[in-house]
Amino acid sequence: MDGARARQAAEATGNTTPRDVLHDIGHEIVTLGYLIESILAEVALPVPVRRRALLISQQADRLRALVDDTISGVHRQEVVAVRPLLEELVTQAELAHPARVVLAPAGSLSLEVDRTALWRILSNLLTNAVHAAGPGGRVDVAITRQLPPTIEISDDGPGFDGMPARRAGRGLATVARLSRACGATTRTSAREPRGTRVEIVFTGVAAEGVEHDDDRVR
């Protein structure tokens, strides 16, 4: 059903449209953010708990930006420091999943992209990787090249041949669409001795970073 027919059906039945639902979700996310801020401001929390609360607050901000961008249809290009974003996502993933998630210590990169789209690309791929690795598994994240700008996410799971097709493809259609919008491509290959490696290569965006020998981060 197209957008116009969906709106007509919603009006005829008294139901809300997807746009109305997104609007309401946005309001609830804002409320969630205020609640978290009030806890952080008034309660003396142990350091590990405060850290988790800050991550929840960051996640709420990301979701609010996603809802706002979806409603407005506006895609803002801005210079994004990639490493702090990766640090946030890696910390969230390690706290939320039983796999070990490690960000390589080397590498600094800035990209001129839509921040929300980049977050969605990396979040989807990282979620797939930790699910593939499973309990006791490992996921490695790294900025591997400056030219072209390349981010790598790899896991030691069973690989695509060992995963159900439905799980192997989860989120990949979204990643492909968002990657094209960001001027990037994704390259998937086997990781030895087992697992999957995904490279996100940004060939159509402006990038800034520290020079490295052969343009590869050591």
| Angle subtended by helix axes 47-72 and 18-42, to nearest 10 | 160
Whether residues 94 and 189 fall in one domain: yes
Rounded to whole angstroms, the Cα distance separating 73 from 65 reads 11
Please state whether the peptide bond connecting residue 148 to the residue before it is cis, i.e. omega within 30 degrees of 0.
yes
Of 26, 52, 72, the residue that ends a domain is 72
Rounded to whole angstroms, the Cα distance separating 36 from 199 reads 35
Task: Residue 30: give the domain boundaries.
Answer: 3-72
Whether residues 59 and 112 fall in one domain: no
Rounded to whole angstroms, the Cα distance separating 6 from 3 reads 5
Closest CA to 179 of 128, 137, 119: 119
Please give the pLDDT value at position 214.
Answer: 38
**Per-residue confidence in pLDDT tens, the chain, 218 aa:** 455 555 555 455 455 677 788 778 877 877 887 788 888 887 788 888 888 888 888 888 888 888 888 788 777 889 999 999 999 999 999 888 899 999 999 899 999 999 989 999 999 999 999 999 999 999 999 999 999 999 999 999 988 665 554 444 556 788 988 999 899 999 999 998 899 999 999 987 555 543 333 344 43
Whether residues 106 and 169 fall in one domain: yes
Torsional sign, CA 65, 115, 173, 91: negative
Rounded to whole angstroms, the Cα distance separating 178 from 196 reads 20
Whether residues 100 and 208 fall in one domain: yes
Whether residues 67 and 83 fall in one domain: no
